[in-house]
Structure 1
């Protein structure tokens, strides 16, 4: 069920260049790489402003707290069995939000599935040979209900072998923290993109247009082609898909997708090609997009319709193998015809 933090989702932010026609505002742009992917932050301010140090500080703090790819990070030390680690607010925020979504999705969003993700060869640890018995034994270490944070801000696990992995929510959370930073500096119009996930606030007041982003066509295997364009105003967007991130077993030729089902322990075979979620914050959108890839379509549709705080766009294959689209009304409202 895990979405790699370095994997581009199915969204590619389309940052249209514009001509400054108002001398009182300035378009700032900060580009770079972080969290194993690229980022692009566009902000509009009264004068030229460089937010690079502030952006770097956010990414550094996220990595120190939540990166499973850095041995000295808090989460890596916890996974190694160090019970003395006192977690920071970022860790707490992500943990508590993960608990909420874990319960709301009936366990389909589960950051403890990392043990299986590693075993299947999609994580930082070494891949192992799996059969049904081995998968069953590893499932003993899966379940976010087996993990808690005590009053001393220390992580308590019912089994030391439980492996925490917040990569399916941490990228979205990092975007949210950059948004918090820009808000604190009084920036009212910006577009933040990290690895294809986005938060847009206000609008592009220089061109007097809404922020516009594109969603990739999940059936294009070799090149990126935009399937639809949407307005992104005061919302967050995240995507997950099975169409680019997979591994092929050299001996059998079988294709293993990157979503691991925490219920079964096996990589998910699904007719869902891609999911895009609009929500109030990117961490929430990030987590639900991952969970819906692991769910059966009927379960995903039911939960989406019950949740009034998010909108969804799902591309899937029907019984005949033909691509179909599902859009909630709120998502249809932001699509550019």
Structure 2
């Protein structure tokens, strides 16, 4: 009996060993690319594998599932059902994960990142409703009681609002989450070298093949002379992680000679008027980077560094406009290790 048991154990160990050997990649890795449109923007997936592991159809299906949950632009989506409700909804897995992380970042940024900003986003003409004019101070004061993530509660799978006028918009974090979902799907399919990009939000792992080079990412920013012309200011390589950028120059409205940013301060109710032009965040995952980049931009240079002090897992690169109109940059201490020289 003891010999039979030992023999069985040896066979099991041999089977595991043979499986591990068989599962190791032996052939040359090929380049696979998937491109498309989703979430009102473009996406691009590049991965390296011996054979096709993820298809265009599978990728599009992932985005379809995400939009059905998180898109304010898709009629009948779960988030729109919540916004139209008086009390709340039962969340699916996507909405639950995004709301949970959003509530954490809301607290970690002192309320600068707030998904309940949607009524203000609409009022300033950056949401789903076309607004010709701009709201005055009185209109903003009427909206502010409908803003604040303290008015959201979760109970089990339920997302509950304390005021019927509470509405949420997760666009400030959903693309980062989408990047993570696609990246995680690649890894489940056995892919360990990839780059996933959705609307400029990126996550990478491994290296480029066949040369095994590090994956490089350009940080886009307006030049000092042509504010409307984007240029590549820095090139970075982040290894296994994510990088996202929020820029006040990307989406705006003109009013009386002022550029009104699409990033709204949920406390004041008005578009952010800060010196930062763009904030790039490097983090372990894209949902984290995406959630924090808007908050850093809204915090200003000094406020951004106060937030970063509490989050050593993140690095940031800030481009800002000085009082004399010139463009300058600054970064957290750890950002230099990502710069490609």
TM-score (norm 1): 0.89
Q: Are positions 1:133 and 2:138 aligned together?
A: yes
Conserved 8 A contact 1:169-1:286: yes
Unaligned runs of 5+ in 1: 1-21
**Equivalent residue number for residue 160 of structure 2:** 156
Tell me: higher relative CO, structure 1 or 2? Use CA pairs within 8 A at least 6 residues apart.
1
| 1:222-272 deviation line (CA, Å, top 9, x unaligned) | 4432111111310100000111311123xx344211111111001111111
**Equivalent residue number for residue 3 of structure 1:** none
| 1:261-311 deviation line (CA, Å, top 9, x unaligned) | 111001111111100000011011001001111113211111112211100
For residue 135 of structure 1, report the CA deviation from its aligned partner: 0.7
Which has the higher mean CA deviation after the structures are superposed, 77-86 or 153-162?
Answer: 77-86
SS of residue paired to 1:225: strand
In structure 2, what is the Cα distance between the partners aligned to 1:144 and 1:291? 15
Q: Are positions 1:121 and 2:120 aligned together?
A: no
Q: 1:290 to 1:247 in 2, by over 3 A?
A: same
Conserved 8 A contact 1:221-1:244: no
SS of residue paired to 1:314: strand
Instruction: Flag the structure with larger Rg.
Output: 2
| 1:23-69 deviation line (CA, Å, top 9, x unaligned) | 62110000111111111100000124442122112111110111000
**Equivalent residue number for residue 77 of structure 2:** 73
Map 1:9-48 onto structure 2 (within 5 A): 24-48=28-52
Conserved 8 A contact 2:146-2:163: yes
**Equivalent residue number for residue 238 of structure 2:** 232
For residue 83 of structure 1, report the CA deviation from its aligned partner: 4.5
Q: 1:129 to 1:335 in 2, by over 3 A?
A: closer
TM-score (norm 2): 0.88
In structure 2, what is the Cα distance between the partners aligned to 1:129 and 1:320? 29
RMSD value over aligned CA atoms? 1.6
In structure 1, what is the Cα distance between the partners aligned to 2:273 and 2:44? 33
Q: Are positions 1:98 and 2:102 aligned together?
A: yes
Conserved 8 A contact 1:275-1:314: yes
Q: Give the helix-richer structure, 1 or 2.
A: 2
In structure 2, what is the Cα distance between the partners aligned to 1:224 and 1:159? 42
SS of residue paired to 1:275: strand
For residue 129 of structure 1, report the CA deviation from its aligned partner: 4.2
2:321 to 299, 314, 317: 317
Unaligned runs of 5+ in 2: 1-25
In structure 1, what is the Cα distance between the partners aligned to 2:297 and 2:38? 25
1:283 to 282, 287, 291: 287
For residue 317 of structure 1, report the CA deviation from its aligned partner: 1.8
| Runs of 4+ more than 6 Å apart | none
Map 1:127-206 onto structure 2 (within 5 A): 127=131, 129-151=134-156, 153-206=157-210
For residue 82 of structure 1, report the CA deviation from its aligned partner: 6.0
For residue 319 of structure 1, report the CA deviation from its aligned partner: 2.9
Q: 1:242 to 1:48 in 2, by over 3 A?
A: same
For residue 318 of structure 1, report the CA deviation from its aligned partner: 2.3
Q: 1:41 to 1:85 in 2, by over 3 A?
A: same
